[in-house]
């Protein structure tokens, strides 16, 4: 695989070719996922749940994410490395810039943040300084306590309209990528068609430009209730790299997500 950059993702969007994304938190798994052809790796704050055992992403610190970013950056090969800003990095523009700077110095190539239209100002300041941004909309796990649980977002027309508008505003502010989590497939499609930038989905239906899953879900090592959009690719694979390859191929051929993974 050739080195994946933002331009690669834009070209995928123009060509109508889906791309695969997967979380990775250390050198070995980042290497294995890169070798399997996964185009984007995410050092997600989901590490608070799958690595640290918390029941939300809120306890994860900037230092935790920087540590895992340095690890993943050493292992990955051609994949693009996206990294999450932690909970409360957005308390001020200054903090946002400092935290994003720390992630970039640790090896991030694209910084992801959660937030609605009000994050436009922060996104403008980041992109102005050369930090490309992915804006995460829909179900935003850092606001789980305000949302009242991990629930599908944008089910009614008014909510759906707001998500489309927020995405437009954030792209106008400079966001290079949008990530949509847990929304009806129809909304995933509408946002993808409305925007010129690549849209990555998780539980957002089959029509987004990219798909992402948490590595532990792909390998079937998540305990407790797994969400509807998850698929264990280990059941038919002989190795971890094989499972990653099957996930990648399923995304590229649009075999994943199937209707049973969608809302
Ligand atoms: O932290 C994470 O893994 C994420 C993905 C689920 C999109 O934000
Ligand atoms: Na996250």
* ipTM confidence score: 0.99
Asked if residue 84 has its Cβ within 6 Å of ligand 1, the reply is yes
CATH value at residue 158: 3.20.20.60
- DSSP letter assigned to residue 4: P
Ligand 1 atom 5: the closest Cα is on which residue?
Answer: 44
Catalytic residue among 94, 109, 181, 260, which?
181
Question: Exposure of 214 by Cβ count < 10 A (0-12 exposed, 13-18 middle, 19+ buried)?
Answer: buried
Domain containing 17 equals 6-261
What is the per-residue pLDDT for 224? 83
Q: What's the CA gap between 99 and 96, in Å, rounded?
A: 5
Q: Which of 30, 33, 58, 84 best tests ligand 1's pocket when mutated (most atoms within 8 Å of CB)?
A: 84
Q: Does 180 sit in the ligand 1 pocket, CB within 6 Å?
A: no
Give tens-digit pLDDT for 36-91.
Answer: 999 999 999 999 999 999 999 999 999 999 999 999 999 999 999 999 999 999 99
Average pLDDT, the chain: 98
Separation in Å, CA 242 to CA 20, 61, 81, 195, 246: 15, 32, 21, 33, 6
Where does the pLDDT of residue 27 fall: very low under 50, low under 70, confident under 90, or very high at 90 and above?
very high
In 3D space, the residue among 209, 110, 199 whose CA is nearest the CA of residue 163 turns out to be 199
Q: Would you call 114 a catalytic residue per the annotation?
A: no
d(CA 65, CA 105): 12
pTM, two decimals, is 0.98
Contact call for residues 65 and 45 (beta carbons, < 8 A): yes
Would 57 be classed as within a structural domain?
A: yes
Alpha helices by DSSP H, listed for the chain, are: 6-15, 27-35, 47-50, 62-75, 93-106, 120-128, 144-147, 157-173, 185-194, 215-218, 240-252
In angstroms, what is the span from residue 188 Cα to ligand 1's centroid? 16
Indicate the burial class of 230 (C-beta count within 10 angstroms; 0-12, 13-18, 19 or more).
Answer: middle
- Domain count within the chain: 1
Burial of residue 260 (CB within 10 Å: 0-12, 13-18, 19+) is exposed
Report every protein residue that has its C-beta within 5 angstroms of ion ligand 2: 44-45, 84
Q: What is the pLDDT of residues 158-173, one digit of tens each?
A: 999 999 999 999 999 9
pLDDT of residue 225: 83
- Residue 242 in domain: yes
Mean pLDDT of 201-229: 95
Q: Is the pLDDT of residue 223 over 90?
A: no
Look at residue 1 and tell me if it is in a domain. no
Check if 200 has its Cβ closer than 6 Å to any atom of ligand 1.
no
């Amino acid at each position: 695989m050739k080195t994946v950059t933002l331009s690669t993702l834009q070209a995928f969007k123009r060509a109508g070719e889906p791309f695969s994304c997967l979380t990775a938190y250390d050198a070995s798994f980042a290497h294995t996922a890169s070798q399997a052809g996964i185009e984007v790796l995410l050092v997600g704050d989901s590490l608070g749940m799958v690595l640290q055992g918390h029941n939300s992403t809120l306890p994860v610190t900037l230092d935790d994410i920087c540590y895992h970013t340095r690890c993943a950056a050493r292992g990955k090969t051609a994949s693009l490395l996206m990294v999450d800003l932690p909970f409360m990095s957005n308390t001020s523009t200054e903090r946002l810039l400092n935290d994003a700077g720390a992630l970039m110095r640790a090896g991030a190539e694209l910084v992801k943040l959660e937030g609605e239209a009000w994050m436009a100002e922060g996104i403008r300041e980041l992109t102005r300084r050369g930090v490309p941004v992915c804006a995460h909309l829909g179900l935003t796990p850092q606001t789980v306590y305000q949302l009242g649980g991990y629930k599908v977002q944008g089910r009614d027309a008014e909510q759906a309209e707001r998500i489309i508008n927020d995405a437009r505003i954030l792209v106008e502010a400079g966001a290079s990528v949008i990530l949509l989590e847990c929304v009806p497939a129809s909304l995933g499609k509408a946002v993808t068609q409305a925007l010129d930038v690549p849209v990555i989905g998780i539980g957002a239906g089959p029509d987004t430009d990219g798909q992402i899953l948490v590595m532990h879900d792909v390998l079937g090592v998540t305990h407790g209730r797994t969400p509807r959009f998850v698929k264990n690719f280990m059941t038919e694979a002989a190795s971890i790299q094989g499972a990653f390859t099957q996930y990648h191929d399923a995304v590229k051929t649009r075999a994943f997500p199937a209707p049973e993974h969608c809302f």
